[in-house]
Amino acid sequence: MSAAALLLTLSAAACSKNDQANSIIKMKGAELDKIMNSREEKENYLVIDVREKNEYAEGHVRYAINISVNELSNKLALLTDLKDKNIVTICRSGRRSQAAAEILQKNGFRKLFNADGVSTYPYTSLTKVANVRGKQMQELVNTGNYSVVDAREPNDYETAHLKGAISANADNITEKLGLLPRDKPVLTYCYSGNRSFAVAERLAAAGYTVINSLDGTNEYTA
């Protein structure tokens, strides 16, 4: 093989690898469901439900945040620190989530997955607990319009906690419902988003509107 032919072969191989690295991978619903049901695995992914707010509120996969495809281009600043993280987009049928993944791809996100939509796969991990990132959580706390629950260990709560927060965990949250007005939405947080999500699901089952912070105190500092 001539030197020129070898160079062309190597160039083609390099392009093929780059195309594969930058491609949007189709993710089966069963795979995403498994990830969303694992506290360990879910740490490796950020799931973005790109439907409209009212659709997301009706039920979405566990740990998914909500940025509609129509707003995504204007809200990329919320995600700029995650360009090397596994990002999964999801919607009802897969069409809007594919469009959202393409927007992310054009803006430098490298590890993209488009999951089966919530109407095409029977997800077992559906929830009505909303999720936000740490910066958004802090902004919501600052409004004073929410009750706040700190799901960390009591000694860490005593050391420092978000303004107005009460200390509770999934085992004792029902005993503290009297401290949480029924007509006020609740914010939950912990170290990494896992303990607080368990509390959030208990509160949602009790009829509260709940927003959980995916970024815990281990991951976000105001």
Q: Say which of 32, 47, 69, 91 is annotated catalytic.
A: 91
- The helix (H) or strand (E) run that includes residue 42 is none
Is 15 marked active-site? Answer: no
Rg of the chain over all Cα atoms, to the nearest angstrom: 20
Q: What is the C-alpha to C-alpha distance for residues 97 and 64, in angstroms, rounded to an integer?
A: 13
Torsion sign, CA atoms 122, 102, 216, 164: negative
Find out whether 212 and 196 touch, Cβ atoms under 8 Å.
yes
Q: Is 192 helix (H, G, I), strand (E, B) or coil?
A: coil
194 and 38 in contact (C-beta within 8 Å)? no
| Token pair belonging to 144 | 């004073």
User: CA-to-CA distance for 165 and 145, rounded, in angstroms?
Assistant: 12
Report which DSSP code applies to 117: P
For 206-217, the DSSP string reads: TT--EEEESS-T
Alpha carbons 190 and 153: distance in angstroms, whole number: 9
Q: What is the DSSP letter of 208?
A: -
Chain length of the chain: 222
* The two structure tokens encoding residue 2: 């001539």
Give the active site residues: 91
